[in-house]
Structure 1
Amino acid sequence: MGIFNNTGITRRVLFAAVLLGSVSACSPQYANHGYLPPEEDLDQIVVGVDTRDSVAQSIGTPSTAGVANDSGYYYVRSRRRTVGALAPKVIERQVLAISFDSAGVVSNIEKFGMERGQVVPLSRRVTTAGVRDNSFLRQLLGNIGRFNPAGLGG
């Protein structure tokens, strides 16, 4: 009676079904989380002019804000890949940080990404040119000529 009479064909069909199910279970599954405003909308924000309210109206309210001192808005988007029963792995993450001064005016717009597990700046728009890379080594070497032994004495 049909396919069930021939056990060789039944085994092949069953083997093919199990093999297909195993291969499809190991295919990667992707999940996107968070929100990052489009670049066209970010171009509309003017550093030194726009305020918290105008930013919220033009690109939306962020999911995370600087809760300690209302320092800024943070928009985070990440993409995770899951393969089979393995733990999910973050394969892409971008963070948009919009900083405000004490008057609530935009003072800085920075976009960070993740490359090889390290956070790297992708773009930066700042009002002042006073932003410098002051690493520990640069600070240490910068203080070499500033030592005053007279300041140690009582």
Structure 2
Amino acid sequence: MANMKKPVKAAIFALCILGAGCSAQYRNHGYVPSEEELAEVVIGVDTKDSVAETLGAPTAGGVLEDGGFYYVRSRVRTIGPSRPTEISRELVAVTFDNNGIVSNVERFGLEDGQVVVLSRRVTDNGLNNISFIRQLLGNLGSFDPNALL
């Protein structure tokens, strides 16, 4: 009977390790102000400086100088060796008018998101996987000493 306890304990230990390795792990990225903090921002009154002081530095700013402030937070779940999945995303956009006064505060979620397909344009150099050495050796036969004179 005492000999049976070791395999049972080992099996229980292995199941615990295996179960812990396959449990969901969560990671949080970014920062989004709470509703209470957003209530302190007054549309038509607050400026970029007062918003930065009230809400903190934005995660991202607008592309142009008069662009808005963007606060982004996402939550990612990973289960075992599978690919991480974004389970929630929240974005708060604070936009400003031309004078730097708050004109709008909007909140977006993952369900409001839109998949944006990125494309890469590459200039074709016509070499088609020819190595540098092969290019160099290929030019040896086309050398014309008269062209130097």
With normalisation by structure 2, the TM-score equals 0.71
SS at match of 1:110: strand
Q: Secondary structure at the match of 1:58?
A: helix
Structure showing the higher strand proportion among its residues: 1
User: Cα offset for 1:108?
Assistant: 1.1
Identity of aligned residues (%): 45
Aligned residue for 1:60? 56
Q: How big is the alpha-carbon RMSD for the aligned residues of Structure 1 and Structure 2?
A: 1.7
Deviations 1:128-151 (A, max 9, x none): xxxxxxxxxxxxxxxxxxxxxxxx
- SS of the residue corresponding to residue 45 of structure 2 reads coil
> Which residue of the other structure, out of 72, 75, 80, is the alignment partner of 2:71?
75
Structure 1, unpaired ranges of 5+: 121-154
5 Å-filtered alignment, 1:1-154, equals 6-115=2-111, 118-119=112-113
Q: Deviations over 1:57-96 (max 9, x none)?
A: 1111112111344410000011111101111110000000
Q: How many residues align?
A: 114
What is the TM-score normalised by the length of structure 1? 0.69
1:6-65 per-position Cα deviation (integer Å, ceiling 9, x unaligned): 432211111111011111111101111110111111101111111101101111111211
Query: Match of 2:55, as an amino acid?
Result: I
Instruction: Letter of the 2:35 partner, please give it.
Output: E
Task: Tell me if structure 1 keeps the 8 A contact 2:74–2:90.
Answer: yes
Distance 2:67 2:104 in 1: 11
Name the amino acid aligned to 1:86: S
**Which secondary structure does the structure 2 equivalent of 1:21 belong to?**
helix
**Matched letter for residue 74 of structure 1:** Y
